[in-house]
Chain A
Amino acid sequence: MDWLTTVDHKKIAILYLLGGGLFFGIGGIEALLIRLQLIKPMNDMLDAQTFNELITMHGTTMIFLGVMPIVFALMNALIPLQIGARDVAFPFLNALGFWTFLFGGILLNLSWVMGGAPDAGWTAYTPLSSSMYSETHGVDFYTVGLQIAGLGTLIGGLNFLATIITMRAPGMSFMRMPMFTWTSFVTSAMILFAFPAITVGLVLLTFDRILGANFFDVAGGGNPVLWQHIFWIFGHPEVYILILPAFGVISEVIPTFSRKRLFGYSSMVFATILIAFLGFMVWAHHMFTTGLGPVANALFSISTMLIAVPTGIKIFNWLFTMWGGQVSFTTPNLFAVGFIPTFTMGGVTGVMLASAPADFQFHDTYFVVAHFHYVIVGGMVFGLFAGLHYWWPKMFGRMLSEPLGKWTFWTFAIGFHMTFFVQHFLGLIGMQRRIVTYLPNQGFDTMNLISTVGAFLMGVGVIIFLVNIIRTSMKPIGVANDPWGDGRTLEWTIPSPPPEYNFKQIPLVRGIDAYWKEKMAGNTEMAPSEPVGPIHMPSPTILPFIMSLGIFIAGLGLMFSGEEFSNSFMSLIFNNWIVCGLGLLITFGCMLLRSLYDDHGWHIEPEELEEEGV
């Protein structure tokens, strides 16, 4: 119950971690099933329909429900701590964002048991995703589920933006902000400008499918290429929304374990902003083969390649940070260092794909699959593993086991390269993406086998990580404020796990890497910027949960509004929009309640702070 009503950003972080972890597991199982099907030629383990559903759900789940929420978990756990704040700007909205994500994800996954998962690929290209070619409710689950989950992401991004702009501790200027907070800030801005586009796209597709609109239906005058534009105007920035926070993690982990300042801090900030900006300008490189014409292709080709410049700056800055440092290879740092070559390789194949004529060859082959998995698994997931191992003691007050962590790293990293390295060659010799099987003796057999074995090795790595977590959670809480000993930023100045008010006194920040600076000056603590006083806290509330439940019900009502039920009561309530209206009523009713009853919160008095002895 405590967890249903919490508005504490640290608890919400744990909820995001659990939710994201759950979906990541589901997406992983889907990936393994796909790989099992492709282990040998002419395999008939899965039928083609199931296979389509699996790849669609794997991509969708991983991106929207697995990796994003885990990023949000880290952001929630860390941003307020890193900027020296007691909370996020809008604790209520924070909880609401989590619950809408969770209910959206549940709705999407209900499709497995309610008559067919979405089967048109994670890009849901029309007309493949139109009701003519995708007759089950699968794509409806996709449009409605993602809409609800996307709402949560948007709310979260807005909240982080406001938090970072207004809640920084005295002295924490923008150019003194930790890199993870910086990248989260830029990511949140990207979310704000990218997600409304997919919101509209999903609405249009929903209208086509449920209300019989003609946006993408050529017979009614519609235009399928419009979907591609809308999807990728969102979709390409989305890739950077995923990777930028990982960049932030790497920029925190490498300096800590090199005992050196991040090389080129301001160029890192600049590069981050530039990447975000360019990220919006290049969407049509996903559409070279759509037939936009040579001029458009050339422009998008060049602008895409430009992104390699700021990205290269980042890579070199990380290398220079390690250069001459006292590098210690703890688990987080292994993942961070492992990130650099894998991500770079993904970048290199990215430049290859950005060359429009070459893309005509690579398009829809396993070369593309290899490329984006090098970026999102070799970049993103490595970054997340680095961040989780690094901040685990801060979040939970317990150190993860280092030997098990190293096992996780080696199995995962080796498995990763086994799985995806060979896929470059599979693509080059012509194996297509999104096909359920292939003929023997075309040169595909051995490499597919290697790829599948590698995928299972990665699975082993994940299981070792889970074992590590379970073992650790049995240990008593009790690590120090700064368990790695070389913490540089504000989160390491407070107990692990932090008390619910974070900082007894808001610290005074005197430079980049605020804590490190104090350490170098011989201080063991931050100077406070305020006397000890009562601390204001927001009250817990169940409303965000109920509001999200309302949206969930409305979504189901919308999806089945045109369904012919055998049960007349069901027909009555669904076909007359009663279910949909009821859900909306719940949600708006909660909004009304929230508006009418001012929540004054409560205070923690100074005496209580002393008693706790922190």
Chain B
Amino acid sequence: MATAHVEEVKGQLPHYPEKATLEGRNKILAFWLFLGGEAVLFGTLFATFLTLRNQTNGGPTGDELFGLPLTAAATFILLVSSLTSVFAIQALHRHKLESLKLWLIVTVVLGLGFLCLEIYEFYEYMHLENFSMTTSAFSSAFYTLVGFHGAHVLFGIAWIGVLIGQLYTKGLTVVTAPKVYVSAMYWHFIDVVWVFIFTVVYLLGKVG
């Protein structure tokens, strides 16, 4: 719901449109808090993974499974997508609707690329290496942690996709701006989580 401010600012968007209404400010604050909860969620998943990472039950170990080139590529793609979402927010602050849409589209496409790599990776493990959810405690922890992150990416893609649609129909307003801003926060968050996954799961799996 928009407040009475909406009419005032039509045509001349304030400099920080995402923070122009109480509604928008509330959204951003609540989203920071929500990310605090998400951090606990992933923290628990990481703790679980670290507890169980050597419990391979005779099945494949991380060292045998992981191919660093693939995951490094995935990491690179995701990091770049974080950068492009920063460009999107800069465009938002400059009220450049066209480049905002463009950068969001690039972000979503990169996200999709990441997801394809991940699906391919899972496919390879499951069908070529006989490494599935039920193989060992390690496999359960691996698929759950990485899969949770993947589900977050998928949700982010769908979300930003819908927002791009809204930007086409409604343009940039004090209603759409906070949504875009918050979705970018979310995107950075899942990016940061991935950096941890890359380190804790893949790098540690290779060397530790």
Contact = CB atoms under 8 A, between A and B. Distances in A.
Contacts of B57: 214, 220-221
Interface residues of B, number: 41
A223 B57 CA distance: 12
A154 B37 CA distance: 9
A233 B45 CA distance: 13
Interface in A484-534: 534
B172 interface: no
A226 B134 contact: no
Given A90-B30, A214-B137, A196 B166 contact: no
Interface residue tally on A, bucketed by range: 35 or more
B119 interface: no
B119 to A, nearest CB: 17
Nearest to A601: B1
Given A215-B141, A220-B57, A200 B26 contact: no
B75 interface: no
Q: Is the contact region of chain B dominated by helix, strand, or loop, or is it mixed?
A: helix
B37 A89 contact: no
A273 interface: no
B22 A166 contact: yes
B185 interface: no
A357 to B, nearest CB: 28
Contacts of A592: 162
B48 A200 contact: yes
A26 interface: no
Interface in B24-76: 25-26, 29-30, 33-34, 36-38, 40-41, 44-45, 48, 51-52, 55-57
Contacts of A161: 30, 33
B84 interface: no
B33 A162 contact: yes
Contact of A196 (B4, B25, B38, B48): B38
B37 A213 contact: no
Given A166-B22, A211-B134, A598 B30 contact: no
Nearest to B34: A158
A214 B134 CA distance: 6
Interface string B106-150: 000000000000000000000000000111111111001000000
B1 A536 contact: yes
Contact of A221 (B41, B136, B144, B179): B136
A158 B52 contact: no
Interface of A: 89-90, 154, 158-159, 161-162, 165-166, 192-197, 199-201, 203-204, 207-208, 211-215, 217, 220-223, 226, 230, 233, 534, 536, 538-539, 588, 592, 595-596, 598-601
Give the 5 A-B residue pairs with the shortest CB-CB distance, closest first: A221-B55, A221-B137, A213-B140, A196-B41, A221-B57
Given A162-B29, A221-B138, 14 more contacts: A158-B33, A162-B26, A192-B37, A195-B37, A196-B38, A196-B41, A199-B41, A207-B144, A214-B57, A214-B134, A222-B137, A223-B55, A538-B1, A598-B175
23 contacts: A89-B30, A90-B26, A158-B34, A158-B37, A165-B29, A166-B29, A192-B36, A193-B36, A200-B44, A200-B45, A213-B133, A214-B57, A214-B140, A215-B137, A215-B141, A215-B144, A220-B57, A220-B134, A221-B56, A534-B4, A539-B1, A595-B166, A598-B170
Interface of B: 1-4, 22, 25-26, 29-30, 33-34, 36-38, 40-41, 44-45, 48, 51-52, 55-57, 133-141, 144, 158, 162-163, 166, 170, 175, 179
